[in-house]
């Protein structure tokens, strides 16, 4: 099946630990994105990548890091510096970074205790 | 940056009636306006979108209208069905990038 795969679906971590969320797409899309969703809130952009080996900060990048070593993969690391990491994380992709439809994965729930 | 607001936050309709959700945006340079449907625990799914050179777009029971002068766009769902119950997000993006600015979402409940 073509699409965007996020893993794991549910993740629990202790405060102070770094955690990495996986995002893989087989749509041959150049651009990939990470959004954060809090209850009752809209989606906020964390990081985005327009092409392999390139990425830019979004609106709420503090406490997060990403890499884009392969076209199909865009992992997100939630570091211990992120003050309130418990949230629903959504990965997305589009054919290119300009003027194209953005498609979302099924999301990953991160709970930090 | 772009600021998108959605109204109302919650909407309940009887099955078979129509539902309308309105969004306003602040950046007159925005030219792409998608609508996403999100079911509980899932990722948002694009249901319809419109670009600024079009005033209205329709896809079966769903339509979107755009008023660039007033800077608002609306989602219209006709003949609502229980499976239309979900959270609907509107978004806007200026020309030249895909940095979508999302509204906070609208919970639509279709009462059988």
Q: Distance (Å) from the C-alpha of residue A107 to the closest C-alpha of chain B? A: 6
Q: What is the mean pLDDT of residues A28-32?
A: 95
Contact B23, B4 (CB under 8 A): yes
Collapsing DSSP states into helix, strand and coil, what is residue A106? Answer: coil
What is the reported pLDDT for A1?
55
Collapsing DSSP states into helix, strand and coil, what is residue B19? Answer: strand
**Which residues 43-72 of B are in CB contact (within 8 Å) with A?**
43-46, 49
Residue of higher predicted confidence among A92 and A40: A92
Cβ B42–A106 below 8 Å, yes or no? yes
Contact A66, A55 (CB under 8 A): yes
Q: Distance (Å) from the C-alpha of residue A57 to the closest C-alpha of chain B? A: 11
Q: Is B107 on the interface with A (CB under 8 A)?
A: no
DSSP tag of A1: -
- Best residue in A5, A45, A59, A102 for a mutation probing chain B (most B CBs within 10 Å): A102
Q: What is the mean pLDDT of residues A33-55?
A: 92
What is the reported pLDDT for A7?
96
- CA-nearest of A53, A45, A2 to B100 is A45
Q: What is the mean pLDDT of residues A1-25?
A: 92
What is the reported pLDDT for B11?
94
Residue of B nearest to A32 (CA): B98
- State the Rg of chain B over Cα: 13
Cβ B34–A103 below 8 Å, yes or no? no
Q: How many CB pairs under 8 A join A and B?
A: 58
Mean pLDDT per block of 10 residues along chain B (112 residues) reads 86 96 94 94 94 92 96 97 96 80 94 95
Q: Distance (Å) from the C-alpha of residue A106 to the closest C-alpha of chain B? A: 4
d(CA A44, CA B100): 9
Range A63-70 contact pairs with CB under 8 angstroms and sequence separation of 24 or more:
A64/A34, A66/A34, A68/A32
Residue A12 clears pLDDT 70, i.e. is over it: yes
């Amino acid at each position: 099946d073509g699409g965007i795969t996020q893993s794991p679906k549910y993740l629990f971590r202790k405060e102070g630990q770094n955690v990495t969320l996986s995002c893989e797409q087989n749509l041959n899309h150049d651009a990939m994105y990470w959004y954060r969703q809090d209850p009752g809130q809209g989606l906020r952009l964390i990081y985005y990548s327009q092409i392999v080996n390139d990425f830019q900060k979004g609106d709420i990048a503090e406490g997060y890091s990403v890499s884009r070593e392969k076209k199909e993969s865009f992992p997100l690391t939630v570091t211990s510096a992120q003050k309130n990491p418990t949230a629903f994380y959504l990965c997305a992709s589009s054919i290119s970074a300009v003027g194209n439809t953005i498609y979302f994965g099924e999301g990953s729930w991160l709970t930090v205790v | 940056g772009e600021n998108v607001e959605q109204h109302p936050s919650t909407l309940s309709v009887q099955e078979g009636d129509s539902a309308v959700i309105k969004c306003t945006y602040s950046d007159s340079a925005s030219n792409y306006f998608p609508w996403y449907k999100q079911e509980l625990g899932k990722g948002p799914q694009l249901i319809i979108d419109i670009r600024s050179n079009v005033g209205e777009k329709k896809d079966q029971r769903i339509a979107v209208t755009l008023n660039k002068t007033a800077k608002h766009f609306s989602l219209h769902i006709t003949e609502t069905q229980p499976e239309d119950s979900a959270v609907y997000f509107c978004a806007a993006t200026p020309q030249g990038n895909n940095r979508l600015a999302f509204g906070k979402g609208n919970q639509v409940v279709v009462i059988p």
